[in-house]
Amino acid sequence: MKSVLLLHTGGTLGMAGRRPTPLQPDTWSQAILTRVPELAELANIDTRILCNLDSSDIGPDEWGGLVDEIAAARASHDGMVVIHGTDTMAYTASALSFALSGLDRPVVLTGSQRPLGEIRTDARRNLVDAVDLATRDIPEVGVCFDGQLLRGNRASKGDAWAYAAFASPGCPPLARLGLDVEIGAHVRRPAGPFAADGRFDSRVAVYHVLPGMEPANLRRLAEGMRGLVLAAFGVGNVPMRTRAVATEVKRLVDDGVTVLVVTQARAGSVDLSLYANGVGLADAGAISGGDLGLEAAVTKLMHALARWPEEVAPRRQYLEADVAGERAAR
């Protein structure tokens, strides 16, 4: 039988009511196997509590801790399940996908919209599905929710109410759990040897471009930042006629801020050569994020800035490349 490590970080799944409660490692692991005994039929389960936080409080420090735990657990476990709040699950999944290169086994994040102890909970199904998937040959970081496994760095929380809380626009599910488990042909294989690097530079801001925006706002927002994700219109367009956004972007780039452009549209890709209003951004030194989602763009930029704090060229090359299935290959 395969062995799976359950890493608990918090979120609604383990909450009593809507508030996080302090969990004791033994009590918690006993409780989960008592409440969901079928987990023990799927795998030998070990549990570990990393933290017990609302996921709004999870960020680069916790991502680094998870990376270390997962890297160490490779010696003893065939797969890992990370129990996590839904609010920032897509950020954590993206961050892990960049930090764990050459991943050779599944890392499955899951959680629930209703706590495990509540009637009509979705926690039981999500847990069982996640553990099942963690025993399979899916060497990727994924988000398991409502009968689907989504690529972690393509996932996004799209619904704060429904059990189908996540979507991955532009990337079909890695697996679907129905009568059987169907695994997609696009599941990635490890490229190169395993390496873990859990460093992230949190000095990254996001600017959502608005009609009539004041370009000087970019500078105010970027104060003290090393990276800026610019969520632009359509294929990467910004105001140009009376609001010289590209001029402000050039000033930021010249000051050493890495600017990564994503689209505000729910699907499609940035192309900074199609319209004059986007060409200006490319000329200013902004980098096209292609079809990167917001969560992937933010975490990839944080990772790139930490890995190459001074070296602009490799940082740019990394951001433009598809390293973990996060963007369509160019």
Binding site for ligand ASP (CB under 6 A): 10-12, 54-55, 85-87, 111, 113
Q: If 0-12 CB within 10 Å is exposed, 13-18 middle and 19+ buried, where does residue 288 land?
A: buried
Q: If 0-12 CB within 10 Å is exposed, 13-18 middle and 19+ buried, where does residue 13 land?
A: buried
The minimum distance between CB 165 and ligand ASP, in angstroms, equals: 7
Of residues 260 and 298, the one with the C-beta less far from ligand ASP: 298
The minimum distance between CB 138 and ligand ASP, in angstroms, equals: 23
Of residues 11 and 142, the one with the C-beta less far from ligand ASP: 11
Of residues 55 and 263, the one with the C-beta less far from ligand ASP: 55
Count CB neighbours of 172 within 10 A: 14
Go through the chain and tell me how many residues it has: 330
Angle of helix 294-307 versus helix 89-99 axis, rounded to 10: 40
Give catalytic residue positions.
12
- What does the block give as tokens for 315? 């940082």
Q: Shortest Cβ contact with ligand ASP: which residue?
A: 85
Contacts of residue 119, Cβ cutoff 8 Å, sequence gap at least 6: none
The minimum distance between CB 325 and ligand ASP, in angstroms, equals: 24
The minimum distance between CB 92 and ligand ASP, in angstroms, equals: 10
- What does the block give as tokens for 322? 């598809």
Of residues 57 and 197, the one with the C-beta less far from ligand ASP: 57
CA distance 174 to 151: 6
The minimum distance between CB 36 and ligand ASP, in angstroms, equals: 17
Of residues 87 and 201, the one with the C-beta less far from ligand ASP: 87
CA distance 296 to 80: 21
